[in-house]
Amino acid sequence: MKTSPITPESIFAKKQILTLKKANDLIGRRIAITSCEHRTNEPSVRFLTISRMVSDWDLAKERRYENPGSFDNVQEYWLSYMSADQVFVQKSRIALVGEDNDIYATAYGEPSLSFFDEITFFGSDADRPIFFVELD
Q: What is the pLDDT of residues 55-82, one digit of tens each?
A: 999 999 999 999 877 899 999 999 999 9
Whole-angstrom CA distances from 103 to 50, 55, 59, 79, 122 are: 10, 11, 10, 22, 12
| pLDDT 10s digits, 6-30 | 999 999 999 999 999 999 999 999 9
Lowest-confidence segment of 26-30, 52-56, 90-94, 113-117 by average pLDDT: 113-117
pLDDT for 84: 97
Q: Give the mean pLDDT of 95-105.
A: 94
pTM for this entry: 0.87
| 121 within 8 A of 19, measured Cβ to Cβ | yes
